[in-house]
């Protein structure tokens, strides 16, 4: 018994001595890791808006990572070094991602690694940002510090009588197993504490979430928001009550005159979501260039409705803008950082395709890029598209930089139209020509032809981008002029998905300062659009809408009867003319407001929209068939 007591005392002393000796060193290293993670993410290290508690939380997360490696290796210095490398990898990647698309890494990005690989090919990792150079230098110093600490000794036996009869190898294995289990338990406890501690952290606009909360805590906070809760007041019965207003049971929509098409003929519907198409002049002062950027598009007036639509993305995540247009749903009611195309689109999902197929349209999609981006093949199948054209369906006759040019996209549209001119066709296309990576130097690009006046080459990314827009303008001119000569009714909708990621300083230069208020931030989330027809429609300038309403506007201008859900959205648009993930435009107050500041009729309308969207996406057992029929249904309204 005495030997056993002595052995336990020895072990306790060893543990206390190890904690006393290695504890301060681990604390110092964890604090260093947390500071370097902030610097690697390209954020400031301290200001009066910093969420102070997240610093020690990220330090604990580093310790959890180090103990996890130690449970595997039982080598303290190696574990701390590996943990430091891994701990800095993701914040550094976040810095690059933000530079590329103006948006930080989000949980949904982990489901789109294939898309990320494709997109990254258009960007350059050089030169290395200054903050990463500093981080790498300081990391080298931290790694060298590891070698000043002696290895942590693992006793080979506890010396007790019960262990005396065991072989040294067995005693060593048992000791190491206990140490591994203890280290793993500590890693799980620390990691779980930091993950749970991230719940409820405030979300911020663009990359300011990583700035205020730290990359890891901000990321964990977004993960918490992926668990979907039903909104207040939700029930299938409440949705059915709303649906009954629009289900007349007569084959016609309440409030519809039953008209189909133009003079009894359904028009061909062409929709083009043009990659990164934006209008800088809407940010404030006029953009000064040595030639007009989009003279033809700017000249469209006859039989044209034009204006600006709110989008919910900036600099990237095209799929969310696409989802809003095709479904009529809004990212306003989705978890921060989510990508519905990858997380929430199920088999036979409702979309604009559902409505048009019910009216007898042949529905086609087109995207001149690889099909593995944003899970599009599966989504397009779920939506019910009859056929989808991807990169290999294009002849590569007009390549701009490393992408299929907008002119080739237009040629393909016209070719398909002529092939199917005797059918009622809906064609939805997403371009690639203007995709980010505006520092391109290589084949199929001779340099900028549009130059900013007064800046003398200060903004080369913007000048390359504006040159690409000028090419888009020529492609649109060819498309419109071709269909002006057609006798069959044709309607063309054209809009951008988000602003490009060019020099942020240019945006502030045009705007005259930073974008501090919601009203100012909405300027960066407003994309130009036009709807043109080769038949008479009522013209309108400077119309305000949002992408979730835009498809319904197209259907109305095409003279088509609206489905129950599209009729509902049309009524919602009368109350709430535009909305996105950040807020909505209030007719009552004549300004943009956060969603949670809505009152009266506007608050009721927004809440009803939230209820309906939850039913469509998350209540599979009680989904309302009137509002959201399956995509393979052929029910006429």
Every domain range in the chain assigned CATH 3.40.720.10: 266-330+360-563
Whether the predicted pLDDT of 126 surpasses 90:
no
- The token duo for 186 is 């500590």
CA atoms of 117 and 109, how far apart (whole Å): 11
pLDDT tens digits for range 103-116: 566 666 665 555 45
Q: How far is CA 495 from CA 312, 511, 551, 580, in A?
A: 14, 22, 11, 16
The SS3 call for residue 533 is strand
pLDDT tens digits for range 323-346: 999 999 999 998 877 788 877 887
Whether the predicted pLDDT of 222 surpasses 90:
no
Mean of pLDDT over the chain: 80
- 262 pLDDT band, cuts 50/70/90, is confident
Name the range with the highest mean pLDDT among 120-124, 370-374, 418-422, 508-512.
Answer: 418-422
In sign, the C-alpha dihedral spanning 499, 505, 508, 512 is negative
What is the pLDDT, as a whole number, of residue 234? 92
Residue with tokens 């230069």: 509
pLDDT tens digits for range 50-83: 566 677 777 777 778 888 888 888 877 777 778 7
- 8 pLDDT band, cuts 50/70/90, is very low
Using alpha carbons, select from 77, 51, 80 the residue that is nearest to residue 64.
Answer: 80
Percent of the chain clearing pLDDT 70 (strictly above): 73
Cis peptide before 129 (omega within 30 of 0): no
pLDDT tens digits for range 394-447: 999 999 998 999 999 999 999 999 999 889 999 999 999 999 888 888 888 888
- 21 pLDDT band, cuts 50/70/90, is low
What is the pLDDT, as a whole number, of residue 122? 52
- 9 pLDDT band, cuts 50/70/90, is very low
What is the pLDDT, as a whole number, of residue 160? 47
Greater confidence (532 vs 125) lies with: 532
Whether the predicted pLDDT of 158 surpasses 90:
no
Instruction: Give the residue-averaged pLDDT of 19-42.
Output: 66
**Which residues, in sequence order, are CB contacts of 410 under 8 Å at separation 6+?**
475, 476, 478, 479
Please spell the DSSP secondary structure of 334-392, one letter per residue. S-TT--HHHHT--TT---HHHHHHHTT-EEEEE-SS-TTGGGHHHHHHHHT-SEEE-GG
Whether the predicted pLDDT of 525 surpasses 80:
yes
CA atoms of 498 and 206, how far apart (whole Å): 13
Using alpha carbons, select from 274, 262, 270, 480 the residue that is nearest to residue 364.
Answer: 270
Whether the predicted pLDDT of 85 surpasses 90:
no
Lowest mean pLDDT among 210-224, 357-371, 567-581: 210-224
HSE on the CB side for 513, CA within 13 Å?
Answer: 4
What is the pLDDT, as a whole number, of residue 601? 94
Which residue spans within 518-613 are E strands per DSSP?
Answer: 526-533, 540-546, 584-586, 591-593
Residue 206's region, left for phi above 0, alpha for psi from -120 to 50, else beta, is: left
Q: Judging by DSSP bridges, how do beta strands 526-533 and 490-496 pair with one another?
A: antiparallel
In sign, the C-alpha dihedral spanning 94, 98, 103, 108 is negative
Whether the predicted pLDDT of 250 surpasses 50:
no
Which uninterrupted H or E stretch holds 18?
helix 2-40
CA atoms of 388 and 627, how far apart (whole Å): 26
Instruction: Give the residue-averaged pLDDT of 171-184.
Output: 74
Whether the predicted pLDDT of 350 surpasses 50:
yes
Task: Give the number of other CB atoms < 10 A from CB of residue 314.
Answer: 19
Greater confidence (230 vs 615) lies with: 615
CA atoms of 612 and 231, how far apart (whole Å): 10
What is the pLDDT, as a whole number, of residue 10? 47
Model pTM above 0.75: no
Instruction: Give the residue-averaged pLDDT of 520-528.
Output: 92
CA atoms of 628 and 191, how far apart (whole Å): 41
Whether the predicted pLDDT of 553 surpasses 70:
yes
Whether the predicted pLDDT of 261 surpasses 80:
no
pLDDT tens digits for range 501-514: 888 888 888 888 88
Backbone angles phi, psi at 529, to 5 degrees: -145, 160
What is the pLDDT, as a whole number, of residue 84? 76
- 357 pLDDT band, cuts 50/70/90, is very high
Please spell the DSSP secondary structure of 93-122, one letter per residue. HHHHHHHHHSS---GGGGG-HHHHHHHHTT
| Fold classified for 266-330+360-563 | Alkaline Phosphatase, subunit A (3.40.720)
What is the pLDDT, as a whole number, of residue 216? 73
CA atoms of 566 and 535, how far apart (whole Å): 23
- The token duo for 216 is 């890891």
What is the pLDDT, as a whole number, of residue 120? 52
Q: Any idea how long the chain is?
A: 637
Contact criterion met (CB below 8 Å) for 338 and 344: yes
Contact criterion met (CB below 8 Å) for 274 and 530: no
């Amino acid at each position: 018994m005495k030997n056993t007591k002595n052995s336990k005392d020895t072990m306790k002393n060893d543990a206390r001595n190890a904690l006393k000796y290695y504890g301060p060193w681990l604390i110092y290293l964890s604090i260093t890791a947390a500071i370097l993670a902030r610097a690697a993410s390209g954020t400031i290290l301290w200001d009066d808006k910093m969420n102070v508690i997240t610093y020690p939380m990220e330090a604990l997360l580093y310790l959890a990572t180090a103990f996890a490696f130690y449970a595997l290796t039982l080598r303290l210095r190696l574990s701390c070094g590996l943990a430091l490398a891994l701990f800095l990898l993701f914040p550094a990647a976040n810095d690059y991602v933000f530079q590329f698309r103006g948006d930080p890494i989000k949980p949904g990005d982990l489901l789109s690694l294939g898309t990320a690989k494709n997109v990254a090919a258009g960007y350059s990792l050089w030169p290395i940002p200054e903050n990463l150079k500093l981080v790498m230098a300081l990391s080298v110093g931290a790694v060298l510090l590891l070698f000043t600490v002696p290895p942590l000794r693992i006793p080979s036996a506890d010396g007790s009588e019960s262990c005396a009869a065991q072989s040294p190898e067995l005693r060593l294995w048992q000791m190491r197993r206990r140490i591994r289990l203890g280290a793993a338990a500590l890693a799980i406890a620390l990691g779980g504490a930091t993950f749970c501690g991230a719940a409820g952290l405030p979300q911020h606009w663009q990359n300011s979430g990583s700035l205020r909360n730290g990359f890891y805590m901000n990321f964990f906070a977004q993960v918490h928001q992926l668990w979907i809760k039903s909104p207040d007041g939700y029930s299938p019965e409440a949705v059915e009550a709303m649906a009954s207003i629009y289900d007349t049971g007569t084959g016609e929509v309440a409030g519809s005159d039953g008209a189909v098409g133009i003079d009894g003929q359904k028009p061909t519907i062409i929709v083009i979501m043009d990659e990164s198409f934006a209008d800088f002049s809407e940010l404030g002062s006029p953009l000064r260039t040595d030639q007009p950027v989009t003279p033809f598009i700017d000249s469209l007036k006859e039989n044209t409705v034009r204006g600006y639509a709110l989008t919910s993305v900036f600099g990237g995540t095209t799929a969310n803008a696409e989802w809003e247009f095709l479904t009529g749903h809004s990212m306003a009611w989705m978890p921060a950082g989510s990508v519905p195309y990858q997380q929430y689109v199920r088999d036979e999902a409702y979309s604009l395709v559902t409505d048009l197929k019910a009216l007898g349209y042949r529905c086609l999609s087109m995207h001149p890029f690889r099909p593995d981006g944003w899970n599009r093949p599966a989504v397009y199948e779920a939506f019910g598209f009859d056929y989808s054209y991807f990169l290999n369906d294009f002849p590569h006759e007009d390549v701009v930089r490393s992408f299929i040019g907008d002119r080739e996209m237009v040629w393909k549209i016209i070719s398909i139209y002529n092939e199917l001119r005797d059918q009622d066709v809906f064609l939805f296309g997403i371009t690639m020509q203007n995709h980010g990576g505006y520092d391109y130097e290589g084949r199929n690009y001779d340099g900028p032809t549009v130059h900013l006046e007064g800046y003398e080459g200060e903004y080369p990314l913007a000048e390359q981008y504006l040159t690409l827009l000028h090419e888009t303008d020529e492609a649109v001119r060819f498309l419109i002029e071709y269909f002006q000569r057609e006798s069959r009714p044709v309607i063309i909708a054209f809009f951008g998905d988000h602003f490009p990621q060019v020099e942020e300083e240019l945006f502030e230069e045009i705007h005259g300062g930073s974008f501090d208020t919601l009203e100012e931030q909405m300027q960066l989330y407003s994309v130009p659009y036009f709807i043109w027809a080769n038949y008479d429609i009522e013209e309108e300038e400077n119309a305000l809408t949002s992408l979730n309403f835009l498809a319904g506007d197209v259907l109305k201008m095409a003279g088509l009867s609206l489905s129950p859900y599209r009729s509902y959205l049309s009524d919602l648009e009368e109350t709430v003319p535009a909305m996105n993930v950040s807020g909505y435009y209030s007719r009552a107050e004549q300004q943009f407001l956060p969603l949670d500041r809505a009152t009266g009729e506007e608050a009721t309308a927004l809440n009803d929209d939230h209820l309906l969207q939850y039913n469509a996406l998350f209540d599979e057992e009680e989904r309302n068939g009137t509002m959201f029929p399956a995509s393979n249904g052929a029910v006429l309204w």
